[in-house]
């Protein structure tokens, strides 16, 4: 009888994931229609619905299992038999890893597991699961003859929309001319073949065709961006072939794509060939498979952790008043733990911080907010923490960290990619590099503002710089929506007493913001501050921010192109 019950539970678990996957794809499949009808707000709502779907399905599965297992639901001995029964259920499935992650989520909900329980969980820290996948993802292939434009015209024809192309042939010719010019160093007839995923990627106001181009001796990624033309119809906006540009498009500071794949692992295998240095967990995240992304990040980190002798140390940069932040020096992640008490002048509470991270998780990140993954019950040996880090965690983060014998358990933390703190770059790097970073910092504030995000605390220490030189905001405790702020000009003193008054002599409400004060507190050298104001002076004017608020109220937010303007074929 117990084995029958185990098999019944295993079959129920597989059916539950199949249902989740069907619902996930149903939401994703709306993207084409959203793009065709320009339903940008609805597309963003779909993205949030898809993010929330996993926990919803896990909750439904938990209730169903409780009804099946009754008083034996918490019996570990039974789950040691459910596990092999479930493994048999999913044997041979290409996306078996996704099923296993779903199973693990449920066992952890039932048993409140701290660390890893290999008897009832699937644990495979020493393998790269996609290495076993040889199934080819669905794609279109084109052999390029004498006319690249003809091949590109056929390519575009294979991706029809209910809204027709404005001028497909002109786009194909313009795209061919652009690619031949940029790839002239590949030799005569630089492109000999093209291979494109059948699946179209959607995000914000664009659709993307993703694939590879092959020359006689080399290959490169190609991403063709499609958008709506002002006069109607769909047109080719840009083509990305440089890996750095493609990496930014698929980067950790962007929202997830809506891209419908029947199976996911084979798509990840293909995508890895476009950017070999990009971690597999980030590809799963970009496709919206967020739990699998966490599993892969955990797998890769602990494989490294077991081989590395290094201990956790404080992350470079200024000490945070809200978060304790630590890292392994030889691994590009940071761990962020909420402190029990926040130093003045911070007035936010723990639940406020949690809410800010949820906002970022579900909001358009505009390429300027880093993706942070939330982890619970991570277990590490005490010996792997530097004394100063251990003292800080056990002394000031007791709501999030506990000691358990020779181990330390992180009850709750955020894990994100480590960036170079902007304040350190500005003081440590050459003047030219510092100036470039400062100017991109100004652009980052603009980009965030145009997606309705106000960072709150604009100090340089709250921004990091990627290897591509992009300034990224990563301190979320004071972040809010632009629409929630009241942007004001500084009042003019009416007498000497007001002018000489220490501090603000006028009333300031909680949501009041005075943009002209921003440059005063940045600590920049005079020439850097002048360059920042010359390039991005509008962000220091209250009327610019109020103008953005008017656009948000009208439902006409500005658009932020996710690639350089120089890559655009023409003004669409």
Instruction: Read off the DSSP letter of residue 342.
Output: P
Its pTM stands at: 0.93
Q: Give dist(CA 107, CA 104) in Å, integer.
A: 5
Residue 505: what pLDDT?
A: 47
Q: Is 95 a catalytic residue?
A: no
- CA 162 vs CA 36, 184, 234, 552: distances in Å: 7, 35, 10, 28
Residue 1: what pLDDT?
A: 47
Residue 498: what pLDDT?
A: 46
Count the neighbouring beta carbons within 10 Å of the beta carbon of residue 189. Answer: 14
Residue 561: what pLDDT?
A: 86
Residue 557: what pLDDT?
A: 86
Residue 426: what pLDDT?
A: 94
> Are residues 449 and 535 in contact, defined by beta-carbon separation less than 8 angstroms?
no
Backbone angles phi, psi at 320, to 5 degrees: -80, 145
Which residue segments constitute the domains of the chain, with CATH numbers given? 2-123 (no CATH), 139-289 (no CATH), 299-417 (no CATH), 420-567 (1.10.510)
Residue 119: what pLDDT?
A: 74
Q: Give dist(CA 241, CA 564) in Å, integer.
A: 12
Residue 382: what pLDDT?
A: 97
CA pseudo-torsion sign 389, 394, 399, 405: positive
- Which of 371, 440, 475, 528 does the annotation list as catalytic? 371
The three-state DSSP-derived secondary structure of 481-507 is: EHHHCEECCCCCCCCHHHHHCCCCCCC
Residue 340: what pLDDT?
A: 96
Q: Give dist(CA 326, CA 389) in Å, integer.
A: 7
Q: Give dist(CA 439, CA 433) in Å, integer.
A: 10
Tell me which residue of 228, 363, 414, 384 sits closest to 306, measured CA to CA. Answer: 384
Residue 2: what pLDDT?
A: 54
Could you read off the pLDDT tens digit of each residue along the chain, which spans 572 residues?
458 999 999 999 999 999 999 999 999 999 999 999 999 999 999 999 999 999 999 999 999 999 999 989 888 899 999 999 999 999 999 999 999 999 999 988 877 666 567 677 887 655 566 667 778 899 999 999 889 999 999 999 999 999 999 999 999 999 999 999 999 999 989 999 999 999 999 999 999 999 999 999 999 999 999 999 999 999 999 999 999 999 999 999 999 999 999 999 999 999 999 999 999 999 999 999 999 999 999 999 999 999 999 999 999 999 999 999 999 999 999 999 999 999 888 888 999 999 999 999 998 888 999 999 999 999 999 999 999 999 999 999 999 999 999 999 999 999 999 999 999 999 999 999 999 999 999 999 999 999 999 998 899 999 999 988 999 999 999 999 999 999 999 887 655 554 555 555 455 778 899 999 998 888 899 999 999 999 999 999 999 999 999 999 988 888 888 999 999 986 54
Q: Give dist(CA 254, CA 246) in Å, integer.
A: 12
């Amino acid at each position: 009888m117990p084995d029958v019950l185990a098999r019944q539970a295993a079959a129920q678990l597989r059916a539950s994931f199949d249902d989740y996957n069907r619902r996930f794809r149903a939401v994703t499949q709306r993207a084409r229609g959203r793009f065709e009808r320009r339903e940008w707000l609805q597309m963003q709502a779909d993205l949030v619905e898809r993010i929330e779907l996993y926990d919803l399905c896990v909750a439904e599965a938990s209730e169903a299992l409780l009804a099946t297992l009754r008083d034996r639901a918490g019996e570990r001995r039974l789950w040691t038999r459910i596990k092999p029964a479930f493994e048999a259920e999913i044997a041979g499935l290409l996306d078996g890893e996704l099923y296993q992650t779903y199973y693990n989520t449920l066992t952890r909900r039932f048993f409140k597991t701290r660390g890893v329980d290999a008897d009832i969980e699937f644990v495979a820290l020493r393998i790269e699961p996609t290495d076993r996948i040889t199934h080819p993802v669905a794609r279109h292939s084109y052999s390029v003859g004498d006319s690249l434009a003809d091949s590109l015209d056929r390519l575009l024809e294979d991706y029809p929309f209910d809204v027709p192309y404005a001028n497909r042939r002109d786009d194909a010719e313009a795209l061919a001319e652009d690619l031949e010019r940029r790839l002239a160093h590949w030799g005569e007839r630089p492109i000999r073949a093209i291979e494109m995923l059948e699946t179209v990627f959607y995000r914000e106001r664009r659709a993307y065709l993703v694939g590879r181009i092959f020359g006689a001796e080399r290959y490169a990624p190609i991403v063709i961006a499609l958008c709506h033309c002002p006069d109607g119809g769909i047109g080719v906006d840009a083509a990305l072939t440089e890996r750095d540009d493609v990496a930014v498009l698929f980067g950790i500071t962007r929202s997830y794509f809506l891209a419908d794949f029947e199976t996911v692992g084979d798509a990840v295998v293909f995508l890895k060939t476009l950017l070999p240095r990009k971690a597999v967990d980030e590809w799963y995240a970009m496709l919206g498979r967020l739990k699998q992304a966490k599993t892969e990040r955990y797998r890769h980190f602990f494989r490294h952790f077991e081989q590395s002798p290094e201990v956790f140390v404080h992350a470079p940069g200024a000490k945070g008043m809200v978060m304790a932040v630590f890292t392994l020096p030889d691994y590009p992640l940071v761990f962020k733990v909420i402190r029990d008490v926040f130093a003045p002048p911070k007035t936010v509470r723990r639940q406020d911080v949690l809410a800010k991270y949820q906002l970022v998780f579900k909001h358009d990140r505009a390429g300027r907010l880093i993706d942070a993954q939330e982890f619970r019950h991570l277990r590490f040996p005490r010996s792997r923490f530097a004394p100063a880090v251990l003292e800080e965690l056990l002394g000031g983060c007791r709501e999030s960290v506990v000691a358990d014998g020779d181990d330390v358990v992180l009850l709750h933390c955020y894990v994100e990619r480590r960036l170079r703190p902007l304040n350190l770059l500005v003081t440590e790097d050459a003047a030219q590099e510092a100036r470039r970073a400062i100017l991109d910092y100004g652009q980052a504030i603009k980009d965030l503002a145009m997606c309705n995000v106000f960072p709150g605390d604009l100090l340089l220490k709250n921004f990091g710089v990627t290897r591509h030189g992009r300034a990224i905001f990563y301190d979320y405790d004071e972040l809010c929506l632009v629409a929630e702020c009241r942007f004001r000009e500084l009042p003019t003193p009416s007498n000497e007493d007001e002018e000489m008054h220490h501090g603000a002599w006028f009333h300031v409400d909680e949501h009041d913001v005075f943009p002209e004060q921003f440059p005063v507190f940045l600590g920049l050298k005079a020439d850097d501050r002048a360059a920042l104001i010359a390039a991005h002076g509008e962000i220091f004017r209250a009327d610019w921010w109020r103008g953005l608020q008017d656009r948000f109220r009208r439902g006409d937010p500005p658009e932020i192109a996710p690639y350089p303007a120089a890559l655009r074929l023409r003004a669409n």
